[in-house]
Amino acid sequence: ERAKLDADAANRAKSDFLANMSHEIRTPMSVVLGYADLLLERVAVPEDRACVETIRRNGLFLLRIVNDILDLSKIEAGTLLTEHVRFSPGELLLELRELLDERVRERGLPLRIELAGPIPETIEGDPTRMRQVLVNLVGNGIKFTDEGEVRVLVELHRERGELELTVSDTGIGMDEELQRRLFVPFNQADTSNTRRHGGTGLGLAISKRLVDAMGGRISAQSEPGVGSTFRFTVPTGPLGGVGMIDALPVRDPAPPGQAVARTLAGRTVLLVDDVSDVRNLLKSYLGDAGAQVVEAGDGAAALVAFEAMRREHRLPDVVLLDMQMPVLDGYDTARGLRSLGHAKPIIALTAAAMKGDRERCLDAGCDDYLTKPVSRDALLECVTRHCSDPTAGATYAAAEESHARQVLLVEDNEDAAVLLATLLEHAGYRVRHAATGAEAIALATELAPAAVLLDIGLPDMDGFTVLSRMRELPSLAGTLFIALSGHGPDAHPWREAGFHHHVEKPGSVARLRELLPRLPAG
């Protein structure tokens, strides 16, 4: 039993570590890749463009390595989820060609994508994971092929309810011994190729596990000096009433970005992120698309900015909200914005990549979710879609409930909190309790209480910092703030900090009886 508990604790620690590392790596990578894209649009000198393209290419390579490690960890921990949605395999194959076009051009190779016969217009499954497997397999084919071609053949097996995808190349190939180790993590077929071509040795191991998770099968055949062929299947789901296509769809030749620019012209976006480089990058994306951007560097500042915008009658059409921020994180900020009456879309921006992250964002009041590093196209598509939705928040109606007799008690000691709450409730006040500073700020934003009883020594931040944040909220302008501490009134500069009164613990009951008449009667 102890061994099981230790193993569970180790798995939780591993998940927490991976989530944190994901945030720490993806956030700066989003800045590097984003500014590289901007520079490629603005730099005309060929030598300079080559330098920027090198930065971007290596940044994408690093990001792929990070994603591989995270994906394998999630699979092994049993936390990787697969979707079951309707999607177009033809569109997915077209996206694959566009995604890998630059890589095949650099290698001087043709990438042929062919249909062996009619395939369904739509199937049911996980397009993201199917695309990931294809990118891994086709990417390997490109990597290990110096001359010849890389080919993708798609065939429907209706009787088995499966779509079979075959990826073949004319590359270096593998002998039987190397093929036996293909799907083993961190075990590339040949270490000399590792040094030559790079990578983690995880792509095929991840592909096998993803195909298994989707309910399909994967196999490989190869001959040294001739090339390799990988086949995998995915279930199609029910095909009754589904049309068939015998050729890949053709993209609309209209220049990209024009519709986005027109849609965002005149729109206002509240952009909240504690990393200034990320804000600058996203502001550039949104500004180029015609949007007006209001920035905030943390959650508390976002709530202040929202109230200022409301007073000026220029509420945001959408909020872009980073979820990992100090002091007041995005989850509490989203709840705070909703309590202030913001009914328009909130889009979460997060570098987290573990199970439940999306659900946690939606539960906090967000409408959508983007994972960092987010591309300009993905960002603008998401923002445009929500701004164009006529049902996205028709009103900004705020709660009308009076808070005149609402008291917020901020105390991390549970016994002390129960005692004080009982006293206040007997006096006719409605009491809400917070055990941390971050929770207190979120609740204060939501409730606009008549009084806040605030412990000076909290586990996550001191009471003076909490008070400072609360004082920035216009909705708390009439709130009475009472400091709670285990020291006498001379031990802390409570009055200078902005508290109206001080109560020393444990004698707080008598002192509060004295102060209660001073609270608003409501």
pLDDT digits (tens, 9 = 90+) for 210-267: 999 899 999 999 999 899 999 999 999 999 999 999 988 765 544 433 444 556 888 9
Spell out the domains of the chain, with CATH numbers in brackets: 2-77 (1.10.287.130), 85-245 (3.30.565.10), 258-388 (3.40.50.2300), 406-518 (3.40.50.2300)
Q: pTM (2 decimals)?
A: 0.48
Look up residue 86 and give its two tokens: 């309707």
Number of H helices, E strands in the chain: 18, 19
Nearest to 351 by CA among 82, 63, 84, 126: 63
For 376-420, the pLDDT digits (tens) are 888 998 999 898 765 554 333 333 333 446 789 998 887 677 767
Report pLDDT for 9.
Answer: 76
3-class secondary structure, 136:
helix
Cβ proximity of 204 and 182 under 8 Å: yes
Amino acid, res. 245: I
Segment (H or E) for 74 = helix 46-77
Alpha-carbon distances, residue 250 vs 90, 97, 254, 278, 491 (angstroms): 10, 12, 12, 35, 74
Look up residue 96 and give its two tokens: 């694959």
Nearest to 286 by CA among 255, 305, 261: 261
The arithmetic mean of pLDDT across residues 190-199, rounded, is 45
d(CA 109, CA 374): 29
For 290-325, the pLDDT digits (tens) are 999 999 999 989 999 998 998 888 899 999 999 988
Q: DSSP letters of 273-306?
A: -S-HHHHHHHHHHHHHTT-EEEEESSHHHHHHHH
d(CA 457, CA 404): 27
Nearest to 231 by CA among 242, 243, 244, 220: 220
